[in-house]
Amino acid sequence: MRIVVPIKAVPDLVEEIELTADETGIDREFLAFVVSEWDAQALEEALLIKDANGAEVVAAGLASDPDIDQALYTAIAKGADAAVKITGGEGEPVLTGERAALLASYLASEPADLVVTGVQAADDLDGQLPPMLAARLGWPHVSVVVGIAATDGAITARQEFAGGRVHELAVRLPAVIGVQAARQAPRYAPISRVRQAMQAGGLREVAAEPSRGAPAPVVRRMFRPERTSRAEMLTGSTDDVAEAIVGLLRGRGLVKG
Amino acid sequence: MTTRIILGALIVLAGLSLAGVRLSWLARLVRSGQPAPGRLAGAPARLAAELAEVIGQRKLFKRWRSGVPHALVFWGFLILLFTIIEALGDTFISKTFAIPLIGHAGALGFIEDLFTIIVLAGLAVFTVTRLIESPQRRGRASRFYGSHTTAAWITLGMIALVMITLLGYRAAQVDTGDFPYGRAAFASHAVAAWLRPLGHGANSVTETVLLLANVAVIMGFAVFVTYSKHLHIVMAPLNVAFSRRPRALAALGELPPAAPADAPQLELLTWKQRLDALTCTECGRCQSACPAWNSGQPLSPKLLIMGLRDGLMSGDGEPAQVIGGDVLWSCTTCGACVEQCPVDIEHVDTIVHLRRQLVDAGDIEPAIQQVLQNAATQGNTFGKSGRMRARWTKELGFAVKDARKEPVKSLWFVGDFASFDERLQVLCRSLARILRDAGVDFGLLFDSERDDGNDVRRIGEEGLFQMLAEQNMEALRGASFDEIFTTDPHSFNTLRNEYPAFGLDKPVLHYSQLLGRLLADGSIPVDPLGMRVTYHDPCYLARHNRLTGPPRQVLAALGCELVEMPRHGLNTFCCGAGGGRIWMTGPEQAERPSESRIREAVALGVDHFVVACPKDFVMYADAVKTTGNQDRITVIDLVQLVDRARRAVTALETV
Amino acid sequence: MSNAVLVLAEHDGKQISDSTYELLGAARGLAAALGGTAEVALLGPRDLAGQLGGADVVVSVDHPALAQYLPQASEVALLAVVAERSPRLVLTTCATPGLDLAAALSVRWRAPLAAYVVALDVADSAVVATAQILGGKVLAELELPGEHGIAAVIGGAFPAAAGRGDRAPEIAEVTPPAELDELAMSLVQVTEPQGGDVDITTAELLVSVGRGIESEDNIELVQDLGDALGVPLSASRPVVDAGWLPKTRQVGKSGLTVKPKAYLAFGISGAPEHLEGMRDAELVIACNTDANAPIFDVAHYGTTADLFDLVPALTEKLDQ
C-alpha cells in the first residue's frame, strides 16, 4: 500500500504574528514556521499503519512552503520511505484550494492508495485540505479520524464526533483521510537521524500543473481580536489566591461550609 | 618433604590454572567491547593517578571509618606478598628459604608480623561495619543494599584464614627451630609460646599442615577473587590506569561509534565500560551519595554497574535491554557517584551513553520530547519565541550592548532559564545594573543565543546538542569579545569544556567568578551585610568544574558568615534538576533531593540559603514551600546579596 | 439563484443538534437581510423535520444510507439539495459533519468557502464572514463573491434560541440521488462514549485541566482537588488526546459544551476550540503561568500562580 502524507508548514503560534502593510494577509517574511500539528498526527498514523501492515509512506510538501526541506527530512527520519517536494503554481499558495490543486496534480502523476493528512491547519481560510483534495480526485473521504486500520484494499477509519461518539467506517481505497489524532503521540525524530537523512539527500522534486478550482473568498482585511473583557487578576501569595478562589466558590454556594 | 612438594605443587597448579582460565575469559570479555578512544594518552597523569588512587588509596579516605582499615589491609597485602614468596619457597625449595637480597632481616620479620596483626584488626573493623551497615537491618539506606554480602563475608573469612595459617605455621616453625626470624617477629613468637607445650613432633606436623593450608587458602582466594566482586584486586589498578583524566566529569566522554537503535545494550558498551563493570567492588559509596537513590528512585549507580556486569557475565540469552529506561532517566548527572568511586568507574558517561540509544529509538517521555522539540525549533527549552530571549532587558532603563554589532569585553551568555523564567529575569536585571555600575563592558547575543545544549546532551540527544552548539558558535564567531561569562553553571560547563571542540577559544567564567573579581578590585563598593548564610554548591560548578572558592570569596567580601552544610564543596548534594530531570515527572518521590537539602540547611539555623544557579533558585524556592519552611529560610541568589550590600552604600551616599 | 440561506442539519438519527439551531438562528437573520428564506437541509429521517420549527423550508432527502451519518452519503445528498434549491449561502458547523462536507461542497459546487466563521453579515448585498485563524490570534474579514457561498461556523458563535421555533415549515422533498446506492463506504459500528462515566455537562462546578498539567502523573493532584470539591474533572483536548482522561471529559469543539455555575481552568491556555465549549459558564476562574494566555479573555478571575502550588493549596483549604 502506498500512503501519501501531505505536510504543511504553518506559522509557529508562539511567535508574534504580523500583518502585511495592506492588512489583507499575514507577513510571512520574518515568521518562523513549524509543521502543522495535525499533519504530525497524520504522519504518525501513517507510520503506525506501516509498522503494523507494511506500507510505503511518502511525505509530500510544497516546495514553496518555508523550511519544508527540514520537515520532509524529519518525516524520513521518523520512518517515511520517501519524500517529495511539489513545485508549480504561482508564488506561495496561501489558500487551501491552491494546495489541493497542486496535490491533486501530483497524485494524478504518482497515484496512491491512501492519502492521510491533518484534518485542518491553523491558517486554513477557505476550508480544509482533506475534503478539497478528495473532491478533486473523486475519492471517498473521512475527516476527524482518530485511528485507521488497514485491510486488503480497504481501511476502517474511526471518525469522532463531539462528545466522544465514534463511527467506525469501512472505506474502499483509494481514499483521503483527515486525521484529528493518531492512536499514539507522534514519535520523536532524533536530530542525528534528521541530519543523516539530510546528508543522504533524496528529496525528489515533482512538477505539478494545478487546474483551477472553486472561487476563493476575498480577504477584505485582517485584524487582531480586540480584548472585549479581561479577567480580574488575583494577586498575592499562593495562599491568598487560594483563599480568594474558595471565597468566590463559597459565595455561589458551590462549597459546603 | 616430597609429600610437601607434591601436595604443594598440586595446589598451586590447580589454583593458578583455574584463576588463569577465568582471567583470560574475562580479558576476552573486556576486549570484545566497542573501541574507547584516548585511553592511553597522557601517561604521566595516569601514573600519578595510579600512585594516588591505588597505592595512596586517596578516594577511600572520603569515608575514613572504612577507608583507613581498607588502606591498612591493602598495604598489608603488599607487605605480605613477601610471606607468600616465603611460603612458596618453604614449600618447594627448603625450610631455610630466604628471599634473595633481602634475606631474613629482622625488620622484614617484624613488618610481616605487624601487618598480619593489622590486617586481622582491619578485618574486625570490616566485620563491625558490615554488621552496622547490614542491608537486612537498614534496607535501602544501607550502602550494601543489593551488594553480594555472602561473597563479602567469604572474602573476609578467607583473608582471616590466610592470616591465621600464616601466623600458625610461623609459630610452629619457631617451636621446631626452623623459624628464620628472631624476636622481632613478635607475633610469631607470641603464638609459638602457646603452641610449645604440644611438643616438637606435633609442632612439626602443624608446621607442614598450616604451611600447605596457607598456600591452599591463598590459591583458593586467588580463584575466588576471579569469580567474585573481589575481582577489584586485579581490575582496580587497570581501571584506574585507563580512566578519563583528570576525572570522568565536566565534559562528557568521547562518543563510541553509532549503533543501530535496536542493538542490545551490552553490545554498545566500550571495553572501558566493560572494565568498569568488572571492577566494581559493590562498596556502595556511589549509592549513598546518589540523589536519585536517596529520593527513592530506581537508580543506584552501583546496581546499574552490577546489572551491566551480570548481563556481561551471563552471556547469551540476555534481554536486549539490561538496564531499564526508568533507571536511566532517574539520573541527574550530578557526578556524585563518579566523585566517590574509589576505582574510578565512569557512571555518568555510561548512563548518558545508554540514554542516547533510548533517544535514538524515540523512547522518550512526552514532556522531554516537547522540550527537545522546543530546543530544535525555537532554540529554547521553554518553547517561547526566540525573539523574546532578551526581552528582560527592556525594563532595565538602559540599553545593553549587542555583541553582534559592537565589540564588548565580556560576553554574557544568559541561558534559557535566566532569560525566560520571570522569577529569574529579576536576577538578570540586578546583575546587569551591578555590572553597568561597576563599569563592566558587557553585551549579549540577544536572539542569536540558543539553548546551550548541556542538558540536551545529557538527556542523550547528541545530534541536537551538536546543532545547538554549532548555532551558538556561529553567533559567537560573529561577535567580538575577550571572555564569556554565564549565569547558569550548566551553560558554563558546556561552554568551557565542550565548546572548545567546536572552536571556542575564549576564557569562560561563571558570574560568581566575575563578581568575585569586581569585589576584589573595588569596582563594586559594598558594606558588610553581617548575615549568617549557608551556600549550596551547584553540581556543575563545584563537582564538575572544581569551582568552590569564588562564590565563597564573594560571600566573604560581602561580610557574610558562612555556615557550611554537611554536604558541601565537592561533596555537594544535587538539587535534582540536572541531566534533564527538571523537565521529567516520573514517579512520586519519597523525599525530593531539593527537600532533603532544605531540611539539611534549616538544621543549621541560618536564615538564608545562598545559590549561584538559576535552576537551584527555582528548585529550592519550591522546596522551601513544599517543606513548609517559608518562615525559617529564604533562598537568595549571590546577585541579590551583592545588590543588597551595594544598596547600603548607595543609601549612604544619598543621605 | 435564490436568496435562501440553507443550514445543514446535524443529527444522530434521533435528535437535531444544538449547533443546528445556532446556525438556523444566524440563517434567519441573514435571510431577512438578503430577502430570502431560512432553509434547512435535512439529510436523513424525515420525521426529524418536526424539530425544525424555526425554519421556513425543510429540504428533505430521506434514504436508508442517510439514517446514520455517512460522509459520502451526506455529500452527494447535499449536492443534490443545493443543485435543486440553489441557495445564496450554505451554513455548516466546523465540527465533524461540517469538517467533512463544507470544503467538499466548495469544490464540487464551485462556491467559495469561509472557514472558522465567528460572525456573518450582509453589506451591500455581499455576504461578509469573519473568520478566526491562527489559534484566535488573527481575525479575517472574508467576502464570499459570486452567486453562492458557504460558511463553516464555529460552535457558540450564535445563540441557539434564535433558531428554535414552532412554525410548521414547508417540506420540500428532494429525490435521493442514485449514487446513494453505490457508496464506497459503510458504517461498521457506532461506539457511544463509555458508559458509567460522569456527565460533565450536568455538573454545577467543574475542575478542568489543560496542557499545563505536563504529565499523566500530575492528574492525581487535580483529582484530589476535584474530590475535595466533590466534582468531576474535565479537560482540554491535549489532555484527552494524550489519554490522561477519557474522551467524555473533553470540553470544547470535538468535545462537549458545558455551562456550569463555575469553571476552574488549570493550565489551559484557551485555544478557540476550547473556549467554544465553556464560554457560557457563569463564572470562569483561570490559572495559567502565561499572563497573556487567551483564557484570561473569557475568565472572570485569573491568576498566574503556578498550578502545582495553587492546586494543593486549594485542596488543603477545602479539606480543613
Query: Higher pLDDT residue, B3 or B475?
Result: B475
Chain C residues within an 8 Å CB radius of A141: 71-72, 100, 104
Chain A residue with Cα closest to B360: A190
Tell me the shortest Cα–Cα distance from C318 to chain A, in angstroms: 8
Local confidence band at B263 (pLDDT 50, 70, 90 cut-offs): confident
- Cα–Cα dist A106/A84, whole Å: 10
Cα–Cα distance for residue pair A115/A133, rounded to 1 Å: 9
State yes or no: pLDDT of A255 exceeds 60. yes
Residue B655 pLDDT exceeds 50: no
Count CB atoms within 10 A of the CB of residue C112: 24
Q: Which region, left, alpha or beta, applies to residue B440 given φ > 0 means left and ψ of -120 to 50 means alpha?
A: beta
Cα(B249)–Cα(B351) distance, rounded to whole angstroms? 13
Helix axes A68-78, A191-200, angle to 10 degrees: 110
Out of B181-190, B256-265, B524-533, least confident range: B256-265
- Per-residue pLDDT for A36 more than 90? yes
Q: A105-114, B93-102, B493-502, B573-582: which range is least confident on average?
A: B93-102
Rounded Cα distance, A46 and A80, in Å? 9
B116-153 pLDDT, tens digit each: 999 999 999 999 999 999 999 899 999 999 999 999 99
pLDDT at A228: 67
Residue B228 pLDDT exceeds 70: yes
Work out the pLDDT band at A77, boundaries 50, 70, 90: very high
Neighbors of chain C by Cβ distance (3+ pairs < 8 Å) = A, B
At A158, list the grid cell: 474511526
- What does the longest C-alpha to C-alpha distance in chain B come to? 102
Cβ of A199 under 8 Å from any chain B Cβ? no
Mutate to test the interface with C, among B368, B582, B585, B592 (most CBs of C within 10 A): B585
Could you report the per-residue pLDDT of B464-513, keeping only the tens digit for each?
A: 999 999 999 999 999 999 999 999 999 999 999 999 999 999 999 999 99
**At a CB cut-off of 8 Å and minimum separation 6, what does B542 contact?**
B548, B569, B570, B572
- pLDDT at position B649: 55
pLDDT at B183 over 60: yes
Q: How far, in Å, CA of B173 to CA of C167, rounded?
A: 124
Rounded distance between C-alpha atoms, residue B263 and residue B259, angstroms:
7
State mean pLDDT over B394-416.
96
Report the distance separating Cα B554 and Cα B347, nearest Å.
33
Least Cα distance to C133 among B197, A10, B453 occurs for A10
**What are the phi and psi torsion angles at B331 (to 5°)?**
-75, 135
Q: Report d(CA C214, CA B503) in Å as an integer.
A: 37
Using an 8 Å CB-CB cutoff, list chain C residues near B625: 309
Residue whose C-alpha cell reads 578516594 in the numeric block: B59
Per-residue pLDDT, B652: 45
Q: Does the pLDDT of residue B650 top 60, yes or no?
A: no
DSSP collapsed to 3 states, B131-143: HHCCHHHHHHHCC
> Number of helices (H) and strands (E), helices first, in chain C?
8, 15
Look over chain C and give the mean of its residue pLDDT values, rounded to a whole number. 91
Please identify every stretch of chain C with a pLDDT value under 70, giving residue numbers as ranges.
195-197
Query: Scanning every residue of chain C, which has its alpha carbon at the shortest distance from the alpha carbon of A249?
Result: C262
Residue B289 has pLDDT above 80, yes or no: yes
* Edge-to-edge strand ranges of the sheet holding C170-173: A218-223, C138-144, C126-133, C113-123, C149-153, C89-93, C5-8, C38-43, C57-61, C170-173
For B441-460, what is the HEC assignment? CEEECHHHCCCCCHHHHHHC
Percent of chain C with pLDDT over 90: 63
pLDDT category, B186, cuts 50, 70, 90? Answer: very high
Q: Which amino acid is at B243?
A: S
Strand order in the sheet with B561-562: B561-562, B532-535, B608-611, B634-637
The residue among C78, C138, C199 with the most chain A CBs within 10 A of its CB, best to mutate, is: C138
Considering only CB atoms, which chain C residues are within 8 Å of B622?
A: 309
Q: Write out pLDDT tens, residues B588-639.
A: 566 789 999 999 999 999 999 999 999 999 999 988 988 889 899 999 999 9
Cell 542490545, located at residue:
B264
**Contact (CB, 8 A) for A61 and A85:** yes
Q: What is the least distance, in Å, from the CA of C98 to any CA of chain A?
A: 10
Residue in B29, B25, B6 with CA at minimum distance from that of residue B17: B25
Give the mean pLDDT of A153-178: 92
Q: Do C205 and A249 touch (CB under 8 A)?
A: yes
The predicted-structure confidence for C14-58, as pLDDT tens digits, reads as follows 999 989 999 999 999 999 999 999 999 999 999 999 999 999 999
Question: Does A170 lie at the interface with B, CB-CB under 8 angstroms?
Answer: no
For residue C205, the 8-state DSSP code is: E
pLDDT given at position B653: 43
Q: What is the pLDDT of residue B234?
A: 92
Residues of C within an 8 Å Cβ radius of B: 214-215, 217-218, 242, 309
How many secondary structure helices (H) and strands (E) does chain A include? 6, 13
Interface test with chain A among B357, B371, B378, by most A beta carbons within 10 Å = B378
Q: What mean pLDDT is reported for chain B?
A: 92
CB B320 within 8 A of CB B294: no
Does the structure show a pLDDT above 90 at A29?
no
- Give the number of beta-carbon pairs within 8 Å between A and B: 51
Q: Which pLDDT value is given to residue B647? A: 65
Residues 372-391 (B) with a CB less than 8 A from some CB of A: 372-373, 376-378, 383-387
Q: Do C214 and B367 touch (CB under 8 A)?
A: yes
C-alpha to C-alpha distance for B162 and B218, rounded to whole angstroms: 6
Q: Which residue of chain A is at minimal alpha-carbon distance from C242?
A: A185
Helices B511-520 and B422-437: crossing angle in degrees, nearest 10, is: 30
**Chain C CA closest to residue A242:** C314
Nearest to C308 by CA among C228, C221, C229, C236: C221
Mutate to test the interface with B, among A31, A188, A199 (most CBs of B within 10 A): A188
- Within a 10 A sphere around the Cβ of B258, how many other Cβ atoms? 15
Q: Residues of A with CB below 8 A from B369's CB?
A: 185, 188
Residue B220 has pLDDT above 70, yes or no: yes
| pLDDT for the residue numbered B654 | 40
Contact B385 A15 (CB under 8 A): yes
Q: What is the 3-state secondary structure (H, E, C) of B241-266?
A: HHCCCCCCCCCCCCCCCCCCCCCCHH
Q: Supply the pLDDT for residue B648.
A: 56
Position B317 scores a pLDDT of 56
Which strands form A114-118's sheet, in the order they lie side by side?
Answer: A203-207, A82-87, A56-62, A2-7, A114-118, A175-179, A141-151, A154-160, A166-172, C185-191
Nearest to B292 by CA among B591, B648, B549: B591
Helix (H) or strand (E) holding C263: strand C262-266
Residue A127, Cα to own-chain centre: how many angstroms?
13
User: What is the C-alpha separation between C222 and C213, in angstroms, rounded?
Assistant: 9
Chain A residue numbers touching C248 (CB-CB < 8 A): 163-164
Q: Does A236 touch chain B (CB under 8 A)?
A: no
Report the range of poorest mean pLDDT among B525-529, B648-652, C303-307.
B648-652
The Cα of A108 is separated from the nearest Cα of chain B by a number of Å equal to 34
User: What is the 3-class SS of A124-181, one letter each residue?
Assistant: CCCCCHHHHHHHHHCCCEEEEEEEEEEECCEEEEEEECHHHCEEEEEEECCEEEEECC
**Matching residue, cell 507577513:** A27
* Beta strand residue intervals within B350-455, DSSP E: 401-402, 410-413, 442-444
A174 cis-preceded (ω within 30 degrees of 0): yes
Contact B376 A195 (CB under 8 A): no
Residue of A nearest to C250 (CA): A163
Q: How confident is the model at residue B453 (pLDDT cuts 50, 70, 90)?
A: very high
- Note the pLDDT of residue B229: 87
